[in-house]
Each structure stands twice: as C-alpha cells, then as structure tokens.
Amino acid sequence: SGKCTIVGRGAKTIASHAALINGSTSHALDYDDVNRRLHGHPTVTVAPVVLALGEHMGASGRTVLDAFVVGTEVACLIGSMAGNGHYAAGFHATGTIGTFGATGAAAKMLGLDSEQTRHALGIAASQAAGLKSNFGTMTKPLHAGKAAMNGLMAARLAARGFTSNDSIIEGPQGIADVMMPGFTSGPATPHPKGYYSVEQTLFKYHAACYLTHASIEAINALRSEHDVGLDELKSMTLFGNPGHATVCNIPNPKTGLEVKFSIRHCAAMALDGADTSALETFNDANANAAKYDEARSKITFEPVESMHSMEGRVAIELADGRVLEQSYDASIPAQDLNEQAAKLTAKFQSLCHPAIGAERSNMIHQQVMNLESADSIDALMKAAQ
C-alpha cells in the first residue's frame, strides 16, 4: 500500500513502484514524446517521478512542473554531451540517460543541495541501463520504468547521506568513459539560444518509432497530392540516417510491436492509407498481412550519412513509370503552439475516451491545463486512477 496512484488501475502503491509501473506503461505503446538532444523519450522517465513524489509529498502543481522542467533539462544536457556515440553503440538513451533526468527531477522535488545532487547523479550512473537490442519487445518500455524508479531511489538515497563518486559522469571509468564514445563536456546551462530543452520536445502523431515518422509524413504528402496507393507500387527507396538500420529496420516483423520498428513495413502501410495514428493498426494481423509482405520486398532503405536521424526522403516508382519524390524533416518543433495544443488534445481524447470515457478524459485534460495554479495534484491523480 502507499499514497501514489497507479494510473488507470484504481490502485495505490509506494512512490518507487508507481514510478516503475507508470513509466513502463507510458512507454508501452511507443507513442510518447521525443527530444533530439536526448536521443530518446524525455517525459516517460521524468513525469512518473514528479507525479509520484508530488502525490506523496502533497506538492503544488507548480512544484511538480518546475521539477519536470529540471529533469528534462538534465537528461537533455547529458544527452547532448553524449552525442550520437552512446546511442550508436547500442544503448537505449531513454533508459540510460533518462535515469539522470529522473534523478534530477527527484532531487528538485526533495530539495537536495548541490553536494547531495552530485551524489544522487553518481548513484544514478550505476543504475543506468537499456539496450537497443530489446526494441520491439516488452522489455523496451521497462527501460523507462526502471529509469524512473532508479532515479527516484538515487535521489532518496542521497538525501539520507548515501555517497557516490561525484565525478562519475566525466571521470575515469565513469559513464562517459565507459558508455559514451565521443562525449563532449559542456556547461550545465540552458541552450545557447536561450530556451529550455522541454520547449524542443517533439510529439508523436504516428504510433511507431519516431525515426519512421519522416518517411510516413513524406508518403502521406505524396498520397494526398497524387492520389496513389499500394497497388500501384513498383519500387520504393527510403533515404535516411545510417542509424535507422539498427533502430527501426526490422526486416520481417511478425508482431504489432515489431512493426513499430520496421520502417519498410510502416512505409507500406502509409502508402496503403492505413491510419498510422491508430493503435489498432499496429497489430499482429497487419504484421503478417500478405500485401505488406509483398510490398516490403519492393522497398529498400538507403543510408545517407549527411541526413540527421529525424529527416527522411522517399522516392516511389509507380507501375505507370512515374517517379514521385518527397522529403520531410520531423525534427522541427511546432511553431504554432495553439495548433499543437489542439492536435495533442485530439490525440489524448482519441486514446483515452475508449479506455476511461469522455467524462474522465475531459477531467484529466482540465486538471493538466490548470496544473500551474493547483495547490496540489490530488484532483489530477484521482481522475487518472
């Protein structure tokens, strides 16, 4: 028993278990936000921590939001220093670097001083884990839950005087030395352009790995402009960063989970007009559908060193001889925040209404939108039970 809500289950547990469960379930559909600086998903390791501690401590909404911004910033700062080497080596940054974000958020919530925070980060370094080899399985979302739980534990231990090597990020045999080839240290300050990393977070509108989104968007644009479909496909080439080959290029997916990490399969579904924003599209039947199996044999992935991980280019050769090309950059944050808010609200409602009904969904949305002025998060968490 405990004070902290297990979201969607109508049950309470202790803070660390709530962080574990809510972090894991938040990432289970691979439909959560991303941040290019982190090379991963920031919210799923930080939000479960601030919500669990906020509920446990009776914190205000503003306190929870402040800690959320801090945790996201910590993860993205370390992620930007780690560069591409950490992720390219096979580490899942959401699980590894996300542990530091969770720790930073917890340290802020618990009021740790600078020395305690350094020890908390040192403790976190020995908990940081997650391997990309588990993409497309149930273990991938567990990385997020473990990062949240471990970050919370690290901060709590440090608050009680537990020590660590406080130079473990950059020191000899520390995490950068061991796990982050090409690590480049930098100042622990906001982005040079003056914004915090949370302002650069990108939201998903397709229920698949974010690295597939540029290709999906490009194909959607071509379908819309030229009214073409899968039955007209002769061949297709997907151009993207070489890293896609080890992240989202499962050649012959057999489950809905694996489809989320198969850029060629996602491209085939997009050209077929499948609703890639719908969770039910990513099912085992579509994974094994003969039409998509045939289409994958016509689709190739071409690595391009000069392309960054969130951009893509598509060239489609049709049976009538036409060749259609389109590029898309999925790394650009929304400029119209009102439009983004409307899209996020629609996405939230489409996911939550079938599960918990319109009344509760609207109640949660209202509580979130007014969180900054809330004296506590009790009403939000009650609605989310």
Residue 325: how many CB atoms within 10 A of its CB?
Answer: 12
- Tens digits of residue pLDDT in 161-180: 999 998 999 999 999 999 99
What CATH number labels 4-203? 1.10.4100.10
Exposure of 128 in the CB half-sphere (CA atoms within 13 A): 31
**Does the structural domain 210-329 have CATH classification 3.30.1330.120?**
yes
**Edge to edge, what strands does the sheet with 233-240 contain?**
299-303, 233-240, 311-318, 323-329
Looking only at Cα atoms, what is the longest distance across the chain? 71
Looking at residue 372, its amino acid is: E
- The ranges assigned to domains in the chain are 4-203, 210-329
- Tens digits of residue pLDDT in 284-318: 999 999 999 999 999 999 999 999 999 999 999 99
Ranges in the chain, pLDDT < 70: none
pTM of the model: 0.92
Residue 366: how many CB atoms within 10 A of its CB?
Answer: 13
